[in-house]
Amino acid sequence: MADSSRRDATVLSHRFTYRDRNPRVTLISLGIGLIAFLVTEVMHYLLVPDIGRYGERLLAEGVSAFVVALLAAKLMHAEIQRREAALLRMQVISEMNHHIRNALAVVTLTTDSLQNEQSIRVISESVDRIEWALREILLRPKPLPEEEQDRLRYLHSHRMSAVVSEEHINEHRKSSLR
């Protein structure tokens, strides 16, 4: 239990120190805050130059600019995390694709030594379906609409049920001939 909380604290502290140490994000957010401050000051100068005391106005604009800079930094960090998550997903997909295809190559080569034609056909169709899934589903660039997802699920489940029921019919025929 203590190890888990210590690990969680380490992860959290790493996240915060990473944010604080990213000079690009810090510089860009400070630049955005400075621009917000200058634009606000120019607008006050041009539109209402005599509003309030100068020191109070600068303080209010400075606080507003600081808040804008913090929000900009938060948005940039969120974008960095989103990109890192997408990169991680792509790496996992690539690795899974590689390992599954290697395993399928072994299965495909094993079917060459089988004598049962029906088993060879079923294994080959299953290998084809897995390869289709690796090619079409894992590497899909955009999410499909829900109707399209349902249609694809129906088509593939219908094909597999047809293969399985055909196998049962053939097995029944063989057993009745014996």
pLDDT 10s digits, 84-104: 988 888 888 888 888 888 888
The CA-atom distances, in angstroms, between 163 and each of 11, 119, 176 are: 49, 11, 20
Question: Which pTM was predicted?
Answer: 0.54
Encoded tokens for 118: 């029906």
Q: How far apart are CA 124 and CA 107, in angstroms?
A: 9
Cα–Cα dist 32/69, whole Å: 6
Question: What's the pLDDT tens digit per position in 127-167?
Answer: 888 888 777 776 777 777 777 767 766 565 555 555 545 55
> What pLDDT was estimated at residue 3?
53
Sorted by where each begins, the domain ranges of the chain are 2-141, 147-178
Give the pLDDT confidence of 8-66 residue by residue, as tens digits.
Answer: 555 444 454 444 568 899 999 999 999 999 999 888 888 887 777 888 888 889 999 99
pLDDT for 21 equals: 67
